Amino acid sequence: MASGRIVELLEQISEDIHAVRGHTTRLVRDLYRRDLERVASTPERQEMWRLCDGTLSSKKIANKVGVSVRTVQYFLNEARKAGLIAFLRRGYPKRTDDFDVIPPEWKPYKGHQVSKEQPPSQLSREAVSQ
């Protein structure tokens, strides 16, 4: 009988912990959202956020978005400091499990068309200034 009571108590503790985690997640969601909006403040940065799924390197993200690797590194550094991403492997950013969200109001990213006359470094400076 004593072991049955212990199992009941452990189940209740587990349910309570689950409830507390749910409440805590809802409370910090707004803080994460604020940090995400601050870090992913341009369409290019929003696309970088979308691509932070752990499968692409910083260089590949830069190529897909049409910005310099350094621009991606600045974004990733800010996102890491805000606790929004982690690096499971060196150079492969992944959104944290706590906030693996892409806000639905973000518009699809159209990207930049890199012309032969305009080197990517100039494009990156223009993209950052917009």
Domain ranges of the chain: 2-129
Considering only CA atoms, which of 95, 93, 46, 92 is closest in space to residue 67? Answer: 46
Residue 90 DSSP class: T
pLDDT greater than 50 at residue 60:
yes
Query: What digits encode the pLDDT tens for the residues 69-86?
Result: 999 999 999 999 998 999
Spatial distance between the Cα atoms of 54 and 50, rounded to a whole number of angstroms: 11
- Residues in the chain, total: 130
pLDDT of residue 92: 95
Beta strand spans in the chain (E): 85-89, 92-95
pTM above 0.75, yes or no: no
pLDDT greater than 60 at residue 88:
yes
